[in-house]
């Protein structure tokens, strides 16, 4: 396919607020032996992008300094060792950075065909959240049909995805949010809402589960919710931590409370996983969740769509905390 040699991308000019995101020009990347080059139609915005922009996300070898962890678009070139993809295939992908650009190189093992009937905007909002929810709620957390779970940040991209998947897979879900509007959205997605500004979530969980607690908690807060999370867990429950908005260091916690419940605490960050781990997650997501998406179930909720040149506005929208679902950049 004919391609330009140069492209537009979003640069982090220095660590700071949304205003440090600027449109820049650079060379179109070339795919390596095991990589796919995607002409990006849309890219999802995720919390790690914000953390990277502020200079607080540790960058490991192989990670692109260009933000953007998920894209949807069209294959334009493949590496010599890649099979299964060809030019003009419609795909979405979990990237190792580089998504805020007109072209993005991705490991072929992290690329998936766009589910039938799904448009580019919705497809761009799938990889990061679906990979994260599957790996943490269902693999680490072992959530399964008949279980009860608590999801913090129920109207975030992660939260809305987890709620929809729980409803589809027969799992009872509670979720926290900070406004009446967001709590109503949680209920519309099949969850039981808890307004954390009006009530202690652990006490609500104790009341609504008749003292049993929940089997799994998917937590984006970290330290500030740790004690309440342990209180809300059922015996042998699993606390899965995927974010640290409330701090990363727990002090003066009563460890016997954790031991008494025989509870487990675990967690992960998608970006730090190995290429082999990401490939395994991609295969599991494709096998277990793609059939739902192809039937029109569990499609991402899109909050706002911004053009690539307005990435700063998209980040501002995320930091304001009023969004429900996913924020997406439209490139084409």
Going along the chain from its start, the domains and CATH numbers come out as 6-126+271-330 (3.90.180.10), 130-268 (3.40.50.720)
Q: What does the pLDDT look like over 18-57, one tens digit per residue?
A: 999 999 999 999 999 999 999 999 999 999 999 999 999 8
Cβ atoms within 10 Å of 101's Cβ, excluding its own: 29
Structure confidence at residue 308 (pLDDT): 98
Structure confidence at residue 63 (pLDDT): 84
Structure confidence at residue 253 (pLDDT): 84
Q: Which uninterrupted H or E stretch holds 104?
A: strand 103-107
Residue 316 buriedness (CB in 10 A; 0-12 / 13-18 / 19+): middle
Q: Which residue numbers in the chain have pLDDT < 70?
A: 1
Residue position matching structure tokens 């998947």 = 165
Which has the closest alpha carbon to 327: 138, 7, 99?
Answer: 99
Q: CA-CA distance, 7 to 21, in Å (whole number)?
A: 16
Structure confidence at residue 189 (pLDDT): 97
Cβ atoms within 10 Å of 75's Cβ, excluding its own: 24
Nearest-10 crossing angle of helices 180-188, 157-168: 30
């Amino acid at each position: 396919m004919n391609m330009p040699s140069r492209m537009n991308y979003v640069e982090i000019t220095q660590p700071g607020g949304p205003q440090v995101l600027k449109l820049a020009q650079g060379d179109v990347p070339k795919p390596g032996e095991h990589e796919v080059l995607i002409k990006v139609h849309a890219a999802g915005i995720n919390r790690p992008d914000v953390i990277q922009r502020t200079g607080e996300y540790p960058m490991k070898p192989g990670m692109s300094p260009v933000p953007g962890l998920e894209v949807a678009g069209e294959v334009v070139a493949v590496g010599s060792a890649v099979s299964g993809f060809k030019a003009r295939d419609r795909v979405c992908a979990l990237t190792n950075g580089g998504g805020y650009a007109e072209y993005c190189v991705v490991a072929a093992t992290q690329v998936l065909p766009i589910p039938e009937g799904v448009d580019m905007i919705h497809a761009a909002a799938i990889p990061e959240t679906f990979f994260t929810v599957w790996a943490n709620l269902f693999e680490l957390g072992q959530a399964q049909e008949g279980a009860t779970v608590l999801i913090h940040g129920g109207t975030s991209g992660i939260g809305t995805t987890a709620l929809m998947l729980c409803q589809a897979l027969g799992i009872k879900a509670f979720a926290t949010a900070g406004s009446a509007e967001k709590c109503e959205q949680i209920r519309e997605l099949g969850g039981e809402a808890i307004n954390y500004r009006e009530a202690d979530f652990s006490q609500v969980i104790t009341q609504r589960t008749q003292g049993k607690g929940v089997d799994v908690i998917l937590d984006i807060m970290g330290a500030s919710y740790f004690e309440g999370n342990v209180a809300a867990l059922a015996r042998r429950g699993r606390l899965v931590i995927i974010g640290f908005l409330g701090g990363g260091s727990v002090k003066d916690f009563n460890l016997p409370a954790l031991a008494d419940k025989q509870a487990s605490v675990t967690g992960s960050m998608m970006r730090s996983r190995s290429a082999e781990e990401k490939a395994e997650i991609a295969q599991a997501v494709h096998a277990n969740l793609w059939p739902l998406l192809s039937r029109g179930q569990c499609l991402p909720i899109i909050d706002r769509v911004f053009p690539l040149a307005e990435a700063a506005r998209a980040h501002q929208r995320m930091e304001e905390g009023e969004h429900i679902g996913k924020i997406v950049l439209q490139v084409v």
